[in-house]
A and B are shown apart, each in its own frame.
Chain A
Amino acid sequence: MAIGESQMDDGGPTEDVEAKFGWRHTLGKITDDTTARWGLYIVAFVLVISAYTMVDSNLSRLTFGVLSDFTFAEAIPIFDHPERIPPPGEGESHLPPAFHADGSMAHPLGTDPTGRDYFTRIVYGAQVSVSVGIASTLIGFVGGTIIGSVSGFYGGKVDDFLMRIVETVYAIPPLILIIVFTVFVSGGSPDITYAILGVGITFIPVFARIIRSEVLSIREMDYIEAARASGVKRRNIILRHVIPNSIAPVLVYATLQIGVTILLVAGLSFLGYGAQPPTPDWGEMLNVSHGYMHANVWLSIWPGLAILVTIMGFNLFGDGLQDALDPRLED
């Protein structure tokens, strides 16, 4: 690619072999790679925004009680309350974005059908997408690690049985399975918590498969044999040797999976089975704006762009991580 910025400094070959591993090396490779670096920036940006808004809304709730009508963000002129609907006559609904002739700088991205500031809602939406993405990926990751490592390590009938379950769950298209799960388990009143659970459980098989194949290859390694021969308990072998050694590729996969999860949850909320109004969530906003597609085009554009940028960030970062950790791509 472009002539390297920093790697040309002192004639590469003297580089220590040891330095090709470890987090510093990985991070270094990511920042060397332009696209991965942008991924890192986007992910960091979205994470910071989500962290801020999360703290803000929780702090407001703590300070002013559950039904708080105030957020600290409101102290900043461009922010509004993300959920509160302005009383009739106060806020103007369907305001176009600021660059439009009818727009106003007070609402950079305009207002929604109920007169809420769209910019605030988009910003607060990051929090929902990111936390849902991370939380459900975590469920899939943990569940998959347990099932996959048990399955891979014990083999035989346990493996057969677990893999049949995994195959079965894998066979039902995820969106269908998640909606069925969410609706039935919530007793007909879906909300975001059930969505997270549903998405997480649905992705357990994917993680389980990867972990299992990692474990299968590690299981045959000499040091596992040695541990087994010297009478270390199976459970301890799994926990202390097998899992730590198979986790790296799965972590990369998890990063890429966060993007997929956000995509899926957006679809779920869009259909009305994820985040519920008045939660500011990008998918939910697209659900609402779908009804105003002809009346107000902008309402459909902004949340989609936000989703696009966020997922792209995770994808770029994940790809970069994969490249950085894949020794075959060295040299």
Chain B
Amino acid sequence: MTDPLLRVENLKTQFFTDAGTVRAVDGISFEVREGEIVGLVGESGAGKSVASMSLLRLIEDPGEIVAGEITYKGETIFGLEEGPDGELREREDMLSNEEIRTQIRGNEIAVIFQDPMESLNPVFTIGGQLREFIELNRDLPKDAAKEEAIRMLREVGIPDPEQRYGEYPHQFSGGMRQRVLIAMALACEPSLIIADEPTTALDVTVEGQILELVDELQDKYDTSFLWVTHDMGVVAEICDRVNVMYLGEIVEQAPVDELFHDTKHPYTTALLNSMPRPDRTVGELEPIEGVMPEAINPPSGCRFHPRCPEAREVCQRVHPDAREVAHADGHPHRAACLKHDVFDAGYDESPPLETATQETAGVPAGGRSTGGPGGEDGATDLKDSVIEDGGEPTDGTRSDDRGETHE
């Protein structure tokens, strides 16, 4: 297999605050190949955005990338090595700040942010902002950059681009602004675009249009995407492969169909079950129990165990890394859950845990869900076990006999 466009290995980004060290990203590894749309999914606070900003080395004080390696097209965006004094130091071949700015940011890796309202500078015209970035990243003279800007505005479906070129962000609707940001990213002709929750701030119809647009333009320009989102629906619609993040770690990594149909991690299952779908009523939704703990003081063992319906005593002690548990379409399917045999941590013998789910009990309605989208073939044993967990909503149900997994 050819070298991936972007390879991230064991990346750790931490924030050093008064209250302690926040391990926002805690050793994640993934890659993005050419022409792929790779999803990075998780609840807010999981460290998705920090991870994506780390790729551009755009981590602001008090944050810092402390470990790992980021390679992009053979260039080292970040890399450490052990110096002669035993201290870690930046590697020789790591790009300097100036090189990152001129060679990577914009022209190689571009970004689209979540909030199109906030990402455009309110006091400059749309055209002016587009033109500035095009001039800078494609070395075009002013006139050519302006032409290119107008062409891109047309490309992303903004009507009357010559006229709208001179207008200000407040004169654009949210969806139109997001189109501008997409135009901005594509106009710089990068090989990779990081899209950080680009459709979250938009309403559903607009979201659909934008996703369609991206799909279409991605085919045309063959740009790779790293798609950061919390929305499994978006993932299903657009991604080729998916990384699921929980509390700074990647807990599951698989091609998208595989992830949906052969889910290997309880957190992913929970995410899928909490997703609204046309075939389910609101009452059938199963919100994930509890809140995600803070990354400043993560739970021992498996970080998901306090909220995990399948947690057992061993999960409190043993911290699982993401291991290959299956293989599909030439891609590994990795998951960080002790229940899989590859871990051999004694999960099966371990007694089940009383999880904290009763705190917010009453939310999950007792309806049965049929697992994956459309409820096709892929429903596994694992899913059944989750379904059994649906306690009675009225009385604060204590955790019941969820020990019965069907391994």
Contact = CB atoms under 8 A, between A and B. Distances in A.
Please determine if A and B sit in direct contact within the complex, based on CB atoms under 8 angstroms apart: yes
Interface of A: 1, 3-4, 7-8, 11-13
13 contacts: A1-B18, A4-B18, A7-B18, A7-B19, A8-B19, A11-B19, A12-B20, A12-B296, A13-B20, A13-B293, A13-B294, A13-B296, A13-B297
Contacts of B18: 1, 3-4, 7-8
Contacts of A7: 18-19
Contacts of B296: 12-13
Contacts of A1: 18
Interface string B275-293: 0000000000000000001
Contacts of A8: 18-19
Nearest to A15: B19
Contacts of B19: 7-8, 11-13
Contacts of B297: 11, 13
Interface in B222-236: none
Contacts of A3: 18
Interface string B295-326: 01100000000000000000000000000000
Interface residues of B, number: 7
Nearest to B294: A13
A185 B143 CA distance: 69
A11 B298 CA distance: 12
Contacts of A12: 19-20, 296
A112 to B, nearest CB: 50
Nearest to A1: B18
A12 B293 CA distance: 13
A13 B294 CA distance: 7
B22 to A, nearest CB: 10
Contacts of B294: 13
A7 B297 CA distance: 16
A8 B18 CA distance: 8
Contacts of A11: 19-20, 297
Contacts of B293: 13
A13 B297 CA distance: 7
A32 to B, nearest CB: 10
Nearest to B19: A12
Nearest to A4: B18
Nearest to B18: A4
A4 B296 CA distance: 17
Nearest to A3: B18
Q: Which of B18, B20, B296 has the most CB of A within 10 A?
A: B18
A7 B18 CA distance: 9
A1 to B, nearest CB: 8
A4 B17 CA distance: 11
A12 to B, nearest CB: 4
Contacts of A4: 18
Interface in B13-40: 18-20
A1 B293 CA distance: 26
A7 to B, nearest CB: 7
A11 B22 CA distance: 12
A13 B23 CA distance: 14
Nearest to B22: A13
B21 to A, nearest CB: 11
Contacts of B20: 11-13
Given A8-B18, A12-B20, 12 more contacts: A3-B18, A4-B18, A7-B19, A8-B19, A11-B20, A11-B297, A12-B296, A13-B19, A13-B293, A13-B294, A13-B296, A13-B297
B201 to A, nearest CB: 20
Nearest to A32: B18
A261 to B, nearest CB: 35
B104 to A, nearest CB: 30
